[in-house]
Amino acid sequence: MTYELFYWPTIQGRGEFVRLALEQAGVEYTDVARSEGPELGVSAMLELVERKDLAHPSFAPPFLRDGDLVVGQTANILLYLGSRHGLAPRSERGRLWTHQVQLTIMDLVTEVHDTHHPVSVDLYYEDQKPEAARRAKSLRESRMPKYLQWFERILERNGKTGQRIGRELTYADLSLFQVVEGLNYSFPTAASRALTDAPLVSTLSEAVTQQPRIAAYLESDWRIPFSEDDVFRYYPELDG
Amino acid sequence: MTYELFYWPTIQGRGEFVRLALEQAGVEYTDVARSEGPELGVSAMLELVERKDLAHPSFAPPFLRDGDLVVGQTANILLYLGSRHGLAPRSERGRLWTHQVQLTIMDLVTEVHDTHHPVSVDLYYEDQKPEAARRAKSLRESRMPKYLQWFERILERNGKTGQRIGRELTYADLSLFQVVEGLNYSFPTAASRALTDAPLVSTLSEAVTQQPRIAAYLESDWRIPFSEDDVFRYYPELDG
């Protein structure tokens, strides 16, 4: 059975955390909203969201269909995929820890999103720029360093590898790479400064890019570039 | 082994979602930061956060200790407790769905928090009132109704009971009750309006209060009252 990923077709967004796991797993998947044909495209995604006979509709994309199972919430999708494709430890303890790190990564992603949308997702960035300036300052000076220092600390404590969160590569490592990429794109000055104090985070991020499947994916046209319609946006006035 | 819950002692906060699950499970637990004695109190919590030999430190409270296992992130703690105490379905499908709902509830909790802290958690509400007014308007008019309609829809589709998210009571039902309580406290006018269109959500919330252990807990002094130091705060100027 081929997985079907449902996510907005023109951005990385939260769907990218799932894409990275699917790519690393080396499994076939249909990126439904990015595909053309019957029962494909954005309309197919919106149709599935609205389908009244779907017992478990998701609040928002991304969601993943595996046969008649539909799973939503990014971290929950990764929980599901992780245990199936060797992207999470087998032990309950290891699985819980990997998931805990993932949930903390998702919290940071939400905080990054809110730097350009501190007031409302229904408004444009241009309609909330003064609020965004204050929120971004807080991210740059307080929150981003705090998160990165936490990631650094957990990598330090995983003495076994130094380049991974756990013993083997997991979806949380892939996600941490994605966040580092996103921070470097959206806050080049502030992220560069904060990462100076988090060398293991940078090392992990670099190590992820050396994974053959991830390397091939990142070099392919299939990887959507960062943009200012996405979660990670580069607005020079918010960096510094 | 008695569970040890680590959370701030004077607020419900995110710890309350864990407390409700522990209460419903009927298990013994030590609410460490609310207890007095050696290795108890807030200092014991902060000490555990800072302990350098802790392999899996949490980014923030709440976290739960079960012997030598420490689990953090509210939804992750509930994932752990749910499977141990009959507060989640046994099937993988059911467990994933319960967790998905929980993660969506946590997203709403974050959005509620950000109504009084739209700019920075390091500043007081009084230092971000104009931003809070705009953010709260968005919550009242757009986000809160959207979330409540989603909860209503998933309850409608669970034809079996109408009063629960799944077949049996789960931690997600307890959490949805807590959110409804919190919204009614913090946005009495807006929540009352939004809940008019979500009768099943109100019914579920009421049904949770009828659970004997939950009822006893809510009536006890052990339940911390809502306050303006908490996640759900009543600021009349943000309601309407």
Using a CB–CB cutoff of 8 Å, tell me whether B119 touches chain A: yes
**pLDDT tens digits for A185-226?**
999 999 999 999 999 999 999 999 999 999 999 999 999 999
- pLDDT (tens digit per residue) in B152-161: 999 999 876 6
**What average pLDDT does range A154-182 have in this prediction?**
91
Instruction: Mark residue B162 as left, alpha or beta (left: phi above 0; alpha: psi -120 to 50; beta: remaining).
Output: left
Tens of pLDDT, residue by residue over A76-132, are 999 999 999 999 999 999 999 999 999 999 999 999 999 999 999 999 999 999 999
The residues near A60 (Cβ < 8 Å, ≥ 6 apart) are A72
Q: Please name every residue paired with B71 in a beta bridge, in sequence order, or none if there are none.
A: B64
Q: What is the pLDDT of residues B29-42, one digit of tens each?
A: 999 999 999 999 99
Query: Is pTM beyond 0.80 here?
Result: yes
What local confidence, expressed as pLDDT, does residue B50 receive?
Answer: 87
- Counting residues of chain A whose pLDDT is more than 90, the rounded percentage is 94
Which candidate from A55, A59, A135 shows the least CB-CB separation from B118?
A135
ipTM of the complex: 0.97
Question: Using a CB-CB distance cutoff of 8 angstroms, which residues of chain B are in contact with residue A76?
Answer: 96, 99-100, 103
pLDDT of amino acid B159: 73
Q: Does B122 touch chain A (CB under 8 A)?
A: yes
A139-149: b (≥16 Cβ within 10 Å) or e: bbbebbbbbbe
Q: Quick one: pLDDT at residue A56?
A: 95
Average pLDDT, chain B: 96
Confidence bin at A159 (pLDDT 50/70/90)? confident
Q: Which of A54, A68, A119 to mutate to test the interface with B (most CBs of B within 10 A)?
A: A119
